[in-house]
Amino acid sequence: MFATRCPNCGRPVSLSVATPQHMHCSGCGFDGRPPADAVERLLRAAAILRVADARERQLSVGLQRTLTSLEAFRSRFVWIAVLANIPMSCFLGLAFLGLAIDEKPTPPVMYVAMALPWAGMVAAAVLGYRWAKQQRARLEQACAARPSLQPGEPDRCHVCGAPIAPGGPTRHVARCDYCGADNLVDPELLAQLRREQERSFGDYEQSIEQELKKARSASRQAAVGAVLAVLFSPCLFLFVFTLLFATVGQIPQPAAPLRYAWVDLPAGRCVGEVDELYGDGGHRLIFSTGTPADHGDLPLESAPTETLAPESFVGMTLRTSQGTGLVRAVHSSLLVPGNQIVIELDGGTTDEAPLAGSCMAAP
């Protein structure tokens, strides 16, 4: 808000780039020319305004609708959020369906882990909405008309200070007749700004440059704020969730209650995980990929006559994908199927390897 002091009563009087040679004090009725230094600064500010592109201080139809209707703002955000989260929702839905139809028992912790992304998407959407709402409020502040300094005076353009038509009973946008800037003229917003507004009594050139920059920056940021909020927040959550899930996956779990059997293969006497083929009553041995067994699934005509529990291999020396070592423990993991063995290698170092597919060490 451009202002100077009335030479008669000392009250603040609004000035405008549109009428740099005139000022009127509604308090005492003074009507005349502003001080010479104020006129000079207003003329320099007008020169800056003339070379600026008027389109940069005008709001698009979409931004006007967003600013004048809270429901439109919410609706736009919800639709973008839904579209952005459709791929992840489909993926998680298929994952849940796969767990539900799997005839093998699924640990409850897996359902909890799979439900976390949905909870995270909701939290991310809420945070994104709050961020977008802040951008909307910032644009409101940047584009709102400047309330009158004294009762009876018209509200002023936030860029050039020219009088603008008073607003109606609801929030809407008025375009300045002098500089073409769009102004929000909602009574509630103007009442709030009247309590907070700043007055510029000196450097009008710097003030108008700041207004032009602020309006341009706020308009551009608000135009993409909602889109970035709903697109970036799921990506941020996925990153955090993946990091958290990978960390949790490293925490050893009790050994899964699977059964194992020895079988002679070209690689030697190796351990296979016994798996019942649902439907036809058959069985097979499963070997983990990349293990010394180097064998695909092995169908069996009948169930093995002798099977071993995971704990039975503790204390044995096995040849694994990580080398030959003494089995110190067996555990499972949330991220890796089957059981893992902790082996003590030469030199006292330890490592982990899949139990299925490990082979008896050479004598």
Per-residue pLDDT of the chain (363 residues; tens, 9 = 90+): 577 888 888 888 878 888 888 888 877 888 888 888 888 888 887 787 777 777 777 777 767 666 666 566 677 777 777 776 777 778 777 877 776 776 555 666 667 766 776 777 777 777 777 777 777 777 777 778 888 766 677 888 888 888 887 554 445 788 888 888 888 887 777 777 776 655 444 454 455 556 556 555 555 555 555 555 555 655 666 666 666 666 666 677 888 888 999 999 988 999 999 987 655 667 889 898 888 888 888 888 777 888 999 999 999 999 998 899 999 999 987 767 789 999 998 888 999 999 999 999 887
Quick one: pLDDT at residue 109? Answer: 63
Q: Cα(354)–Cα(258) distance, rounded to whole angstroms?
A: 13
**Span between the terminal Cα atoms of the chain, in Å:** 91
Quick one: pLDDT at residue 341? Answer: 93
Q: What are phi and psi of 20, to 5 degrees?
A: -70, -20
* Tokens (6 digits) for 186: 């909602």
Quick one: pLDDT at residue 328? Answer: 94
Instruction: Look at residue 306 and give its three-state secondary structure.
Output: coil
- Amino acid (1-letter code) at residue 112: V
Give me the sign of the Cα torsion angle 202, 203, 209, 213. negative
* Tokens (6 digits) for 187: 């009574």
Quick one: pLDDT at residue 330? Answer: 94
Quick one: pLDDT at residue 40? Answer: 82
Q: What is the pTM of this model?
A: 0.45
Q: Do the Cβ atoms of 353 and 334 come closer than 8 Å?
A: no
Quick one: pLDDT at residue 246? Answer: 65
Report the candidate in 28, 36, 37, 34 with the shortest Cα–Cα distance to residue 9: 28
Paired residues of 2 in beta bridges: 200
Q: Cα(111)–Cα(340) distance, rounded to whole angstroms?
A: 22
Sorted by where each begins, the domain ranges of the chain are 260-360
Q: Cα(355)–Cα(256) distance, rounded to whole angstroms?
A: 11
Q: Cα(282)–Cα(279) distance, rounded to whole angstroms?
A: 8
DSSP 93-156: HHHHHHHHH-SS---HHHHHHHHHHHHHHHHHHHHHHHHHHHHHHHHHHHHBPBPPSSTTPPPB
Per-residue b or e along 188-209, where b marks 16 or more CB atoms closer than 10 Å to that residue's CB: ebbeebeeeeeebeeebbebbe
Q: 2: buried, middle or exposed (CB in 10 Å: 19+, 13-18, 0-12)?
A: buried
